Amino acid sequence: ADPDSLQDFCVADQSAISISVNGFPCKPASEVTSDDFFFDGLSKVGDTSNIFGSNVTGGNVLTFPALNTLGISMNRVDFAPGGVNPPHSHPRATESGVVIEGKLLVGFVTTGNVYHSKVLTAGQMFVIPRGLVHFQKNVGVGKALVIAAFNSQLPGAVVLPFTLFASTPSIPDDILTRAFQVEEKVVESIKSKFSS
Ligand code: GLV
Ligand code: MN
């Protein structure tokens, strides 16, 4: 979904903070080395000891600057048994993933509110069309691992529990009570789970 490149590469220079462009400016070609084009961040197991029992490790332009202008990125998602990657969407990319280990329920909902889901095991793939709300749950007995690819160097993630109940400042309670048809104490209770 990102624009096409106009050159072989444009390794992001994340220290050029005084320049504002759509993406990142390029590191001078004379300073680019082979190391720029390799990234081992997805080799590390993510820490799933959190309220969701899952952990997303990003291999995007922020962690792997050589992806700048190339229109792709990848995530590693680790799951403890029963762990959930909560409902979220990616505003800038379609996502396709492959299960590496474990048994994973993958689901998404269309703009017409049709729910599509399937339980996948190692080697099986899924696709989440750009912008649609989706989740994964480890429904196996052991841990689970998925590697996901995106057609954006920085797909972005709107994580609904945080977006709706943990923004800064907060969405007013009366908006959320009306939207979800619940009492204020329910909204306060959900908000309290995410306040640090
Ligand atoms: C999984 O849905 C991910 O965004 O990494
Ligand atoms: Mn996703």
Residue type, 159: V
Question: Is the separation of the CB atoms in 88 and 160 below 8 Å?
Answer: yes
Name the burial class of residue 181, with classes exposed (0-12), middle (13-18) and buried (19+) by CB atoms within 10 angstroms of its CB: exposed
- Which atom of ligand 1 sits closest to the CA of residue 128? 2
pLDDT band at 14 (very low <50, low <70, confident <90, very high): confident
Question: Is the separation of the CB atoms in 54 and 79 below 8 Å?
Answer: yes
- Determine whether the shortest distance from the Cβ of 57 to ligand 1 is under 6 A: no
Judged against a pLDDT cut of 80, whether residue 138 lies above it is answered with yes
Write out pLDDT tens, residues 80-120.
999 999 999 999 999 999 999 999 999 999 999 999 999 99
Q: Respond yes or no on whether ipTM tops 0.90.
A: yes
Q: Which residues pair with 107 in a beta bridge?
A: 117, 135
Question: Is the separation of the CB atoms in 89 and 133 below 8 Å?
Answer: yes
Which residue is closest in CA terms to ligand 1's atom 2? 135
Domains of the chain: 29-157 (2.60.120.10), 166-196 (no CATH)
